Amino acid sequence: MNKTTELPGARAGVAHLDESILLPQLGCPAGSIGIAVGDMLEHSNRAVIEASFEFLDLHANERILEVGLGNGAHVPFVLDQAHGVHYTGVDISPTMIAVARCRNAAYVREGRVAFETADVVAMPFSNASFDKAITINSTYFWPKLAAGLKGMRRVLRVDGTLVIAAITPDAAVELPFADYGFAVHDAATLEAACAAAGFGDIGITRYLEPLANPPQETGQREFYLLRAVAG
Ligand SMILES: C[S@@+](CC[C@H](N)C(=O)[O-])C[C@H]1O[C@@H](n2cnc3c(N)ncnc32)[C@H](O)[C@@H]1O
C-alpha cells in the first residue's frame, strides 16, 4: 500500500506525494519535485537554520562555508549576521545550486556569495579557505560521516569553527529515515566522528524548534547543535 508522507511542514506542493518519491528527494532534490521539496524545507526548517547560524556566531568579514544548503532562501539572513561576510554554499544537488544561484543572483554578482555543486568529500576549494563552516540536516545522507567531516576540516583554517545541526534520534523516531538508508546519529557518534576528522573542543547542546502555526503534525522536533574547533 502506498504511504503518503507526514514530514514536518509538508506543504501543498509535496504533501500529496508518496513517501517513496518524497523521501529519496531529501538527500538530493532533483527536477521539479526537487524544487518543491526545497521550498518545503525552506519553510519547515527555517527556525533551526536561523538558530544554527546564530550558534555559529558570525563576525565581520569572515569566510563562511555551508554544506547541503538546500535552495539558499536563507542566504540574505546569513549576510545580515555580520558586516562583510562572504558566504559559499555547496550542495550535491545541481537543482538546489541552480535555485540558490537564481534566488541570490544579485549577491553573486556583487561577489558576496558563491555556490558550487559538489560532494562534501570532494569540494573544489584549497585547504584553509574558510573561517567557519556549517551543515544543517545534511549529515544523514553522507555515506561516511567522518569522511565528510574530514572534507570540511580540510577547507577550514586552524582554529576555524564547525557547526553541525542534526535531528536527535528521539525526535526522528516517527520519521521513516532508516527505511531509506538515512543515518540519524546520536551525540556520541557525532562527537567521535568530529574527533576522527581533526576537530577538538567539541560541545553539543540541544535546540527545540518552536511550535509552528498551525502546529507541526509530528510535534516540535529537537536537534543537536554541535560546535567544534579545527585542530
Ligand atoms: C534535507 S536537505 C537540508 C537542506 C537545508 N540545509 C535544510 O536544513 O533545510 C539535505 C541537503 O543536503 C544535500 N546533500 C546530501 N548529501 C550531500 C553531500 N554528500 N554533499 C553535499 N551536499 C549533500 C542535499 O542535496 C540536500 O540539499
Amino acid at 40: M
- Number of Cβ within 10 Å of residue 43's Cβ equals 14
Tell me: pLDDT of 4 over 90: no
Nearest ligand 1 atom to the CA of 91 is 22
Enumerate residues 6+ apart whose C-beta is below 8 A from 182.
23, 26, 27, 140, 141
- Number of Cβ within 10 Å of residue 72's Cβ equals 26
**Alpha-carbon radius of gyration of the chain:** 17
Query: Which of 22, 23, 26, 138 maximizes ligand 1 atoms within 8 Å of its Cβ, making it the mutation to test the pocket?
Result: 138
How far is the centre of ligand 1, averaged over its atoms, from the C-alpha of 176 (Å)?
A: 17
How far is the centre of ligand 1, averaged over its atoms, from the C-alpha of 96 (Å)?
A: 9
Residue 37: closest CA among 9, 65, 74:
9
Q: Is residue 3 part of a domain?
A: no
Tell me: pLDDT of 8 over 90: no
The per-residue pLDDT for 196 is: 98
Q: Is residue 100 part of a domain?
A: yes
The DSSP call for residue 224 is E
Specify the CATH number for the domain of residue 140: 3.40.50.150
Nearest ligand 1 atom to the CA of 148 is 19
What are the E-state strand segments in 112-208?
113-117, 130-136, 156-167, 199-208
How far is the centre of ligand 1, averaged over its atoms, from the C-alpha of 27 (Å)?
A: 6
The per-residue pLDDT for 1 is: 38
Tell me: pLDDT of 42 over 50: yes
Give the range of the structural domain holding residue 95, as residue numbers without chain letter.
46-230
pLDDT of 115-143, one tens digit each? 999 999 999 999 999 999 999 999 999 99
Nearest ligand 1 atom to the CA of 66 is 6
Residue 13 pLDDT level (bands cut at 50, 70, 90): confident
Q: Is 134 helix (H, G, I), strand (E, B) or coil?
A: strand
The per-residue pLDDT for 153 is: 98
How far is the centre of ligand 1, averaged over its atoms, from the C-alpha of 62 (Å)?
A: 23
Nearest ligand 1 atom to the CA of 120 is 20
Q: Which residue has the cell 536527535?
A: 168
Residue 65: closest CA among 124, 2, 1:
124
Distance between alpha carbon 181 and the CA centroid of its chain, in Å?
Answer: 18
